[in-house]
Amino acid sequence: MRYQLGTVFSEQITKSRRFRKMREVEGNAKYSPDIRVWVFVGILFIGLGLLLSRLFLLTVIQGNRFRQLAEGNRLQEQKIYAPRGIIYDRKGVPLVRNIPAFVLPDKQIFFENPPATQSAQIQEIAVRDYVFKDLFAHVLGYTAEVSQEELGKLVLGDLVGKMGIEKSYDETLRGVNGKLLFEVDALGQKIRTLGKVEAKTGKNLTLTLDSDLQKAAQETIAGKKGAIVVSNSQTGEILAYYSSPSFDPNLFIRGEEIKKLFEDPNQPLFDRVIAGTYPPGSTFKIITSVAALESGTIDKETKIEDTGILKVGEFSFGNWYFNQYGKKEGWLDIVGAIRRSNDIFFYTIGEKTGIETIAGWAKKMGLGKKTGIDIDGEAEGLMPDPAWRKKERGEDWYLGNTYHIAIGQGDILSTPLQVNTWTNVIASGGKLCQPHLTKDQRSIRQLADKDQNELCKDLEIKKENIELIREGMKEACAVGGTGYPLFDFKIINDKLQIDNLNYFEAKESTVSAKPYVGIPVACKTGTAEYGDLKNSKTHAWFTVFAPVYNPQITITVLVEGGGEGSTVAAPMAKKILEEWFKK
């Protein structure tokens, strides 16, 4: 008998136990997996879920936005600035033009070739070039980038007019910007143009100005502070408009030495034609004459004796001729008083007429309010009266105040343009014409009086009174008057038709081959005191129109602190008259 003893030995026992344990583990594994497997599977599914949801967000929900952003990095749009319209003088001479330049994103402008870097961001633009530099500066103005306050329909970077015609007619001149769509590479370099909307150039503008007269005005007042304004006597068209000293508007385009302009004590940016206010001196006697004649205070027969000095209490009011030369001028009518600018005559008629009547006519003739010229910055001037003095000064009105006003002194203030405007009232036969700088008919209609649809208004001054004042002004520029530089004014021009009224054959023509033509002119001098009594100085005024009976041109000259109108301002006006009539 053979026995199997292995089962009782330890080795066999050990194997048997290990075998049973393994079978138990394998059996249980089918029903109870390890927890770590579940954790791993869970993390895997959560991660996949997050990835899928993010993918859905990026491709479906935000896909269009990101596609646009990606396309934007590749495609760029650039504004094409519209060239501004050209501005011409009345003869078609361009006063401002456009020239090419290049601008970088930091707004730095290059007028020659720009840097080679950042070529896709370099933009070619048209910038202003003011052909005559400082000659038309205050009229034309300049352009610069739009400010926050000016935005409106504009956007930052747009160029707009900042002064003068450039500002007043900005919408006309500006045009409509275009745009350019192009593709760039990763370095920002332009690859190709994809599309373009052309810019529309602004409309051109023709002004009433005459370049030759403007040059004559500049040359004659060079080196002095003051203003010259020249107009068409019948329409109010401005033929020349010069404020001295002036400035070069191109400096604002090129960004050069602008700070010096603002720091200059002579104030070259200040427009003395329309913003400078000064006592008008004896040029105001034109208005005093109208007020006295129209109110019936005087007529052509009225005569007043020049006593040299008028005394009111402890105050004395002397005539300039007596103060300077100790002489009197006897009995004077209105023509003689204007011819000699006699202060005693005008003190007397000022007192009889009354300040309210004088002030009323001054306002009718354009003082104390803006003339309405088509550029910004105009001052109203000042026509004082008793109510104004009480309100502003807390003081009563005295007879001495009326005396001062009657001869254009005291608190009265006017601009050179206003003096030119009321001179034109006499030249045009009684019309108050609104000064204007453009010949564009649409612009003129916009400026015109809404009720009358015209730029000139008849003040209904009696014809005989106009003729008396006109005659006095004619005598002022004839032998014996105060405007001696214009005595016997003549010009060489054989095209002027001799009518023995406005043009007559000068004596020199009979002894010379040169065809001299005599032209009668009508003028008024003015020497206006300013400053305190100890440091009193005088502004020099001169206002004139010609020919006397069919006026074409009216010139007003002011020289700040210049002295006497007859010696300083009158010769300047004469040179401009010569420039006009020689052609």
144 within a domain of the structure (yes/no)? yes
Note the pLDDT of residue 508: 65
Q: What is the mean pLDDT of residues 413-422?
A: 98
Note the pLDDT of residue 126: 83
Of the listed ranges 120-134, 412-426, 459-473, 520-534, the one predicted with least confidence: 120-134
Q: How confident is the model at residue 472 (pLDDT cuts 50, 70, 90)?
A: very high
Of the listed ranges 214-223, 475-484, 494-503, the one predicted with least confidence: 494-503
What is the spatial distance between Cα 542 and Cα 564, in angstroms, rounded to a whole number?
A: 9
Judgement on whether residues 201 and 338 belong to the same structural domain of the protein: no
Q: For residue 90, give the CATH number of its domain.
A: 3.90.1310.10
Asked if 530 and 538 touch (Cβ cutoff 8 Å), the reply is: yes
Judgement on whether residues 476 and 357 belong to the same structural domain of the protein: yes
What is the spatial distance between Cα 470 and Cα 24, in angstroms, rounded to a whole number?
A: 138
Judgement on whether residues 428 and 387 belong to the same structural domain of the protein: yes
For residue 12, give both structure tokens.
């066999």
Judgement on whether residues 551 and 521 belong to the same structural domain of the protein: yes
Judgement on whether residues 193 and 229 belong to the same structural domain of the protein: no
379 within a domain of the structure (yes/no)? yes
Q: What is the mean pLDDT of residues 394-415?
A: 96
**Higher pLDDT, residue 53 or 179:** 179
What domain count does the chain have? 2
In which domain, by residue range, is 474 found? 211-259+271-581
Closest CA to 404 of 412, 393, 394: 412
For residue 331, give both structure tokens.
């009995």
Q: What is the pLDDT of residues 490-534, one digit of tens each?
A: 998 888 889 999 998 887 655 556 778 999 999 999 999 988 766
What is the spatial distance between Cα 155 and Cα 148, in angstroms, rounded to a whole number?
A: 9
Q: How confident is the model at residue 62 (pLDDT cuts 50, 70, 90)?
A: low
Q: For residue 301, give the CATH number of its domain.
A: 3.40.710.10
Q: What is the pLDDT of residues 246-298, one digit of tens each?
A: 999 999 887 777 888 888 999 999 999 999 999 999 999 999 999 999 999 99
Judgement on whether residues 450 and 568 belong to the same structural domain of the protein: yes
Note the pLDDT of residue 226: 97
Note the pLDDT of residue 73: 60
Q: What is the mean pLDDT of residues 213-242?
A: 97
Supply the DSSP string of 395-425, one letter for each residue.
----HHHHHHHHTT-TT-BB-HHHHHHHHHH
158 within a domain of the structure (yes/no)? yes
Asked if 279 and 530 touch (Cβ cutoff 8 Å), the reply is: yes
Asked if 174 and 144 touch (Cβ cutoff 8 Å), the reply is: no
Judgement on whether residues 190 and 219 belong to the same structural domain of the protein: no
Q: What is the pLDDT of residues 23-47, one digit of tens each?
A: 544 544 444 557 877 777 778 778 7
Q: Strand 205-206 to strand 87-88: parallel, antiparallel, or no bridges (unpaired)?
A: parallel
**Higher pLDDT, residue 12 or 500:** 500
168 within a domain of the structure (yes/no)? yes
Query: What pTM was estimated for this model as a whole?
Result: 0.83
* Three-state secondary structure readout of 427-483: HCCCEEECCECECCHHHHHHHCCCCCCCCEEECCCCHHHHHHHHHHHHHHCCCCCCC
Judgement on whether residues 197 and 223 belong to the same structural domain of the protein: no
Judgement on whether residues 128 and 218 belong to the same structural domain of the protein: no
Of the listed ranges 9-23, 261-275, 327-341, 391-405, the one predicted with least confidence: 9-23
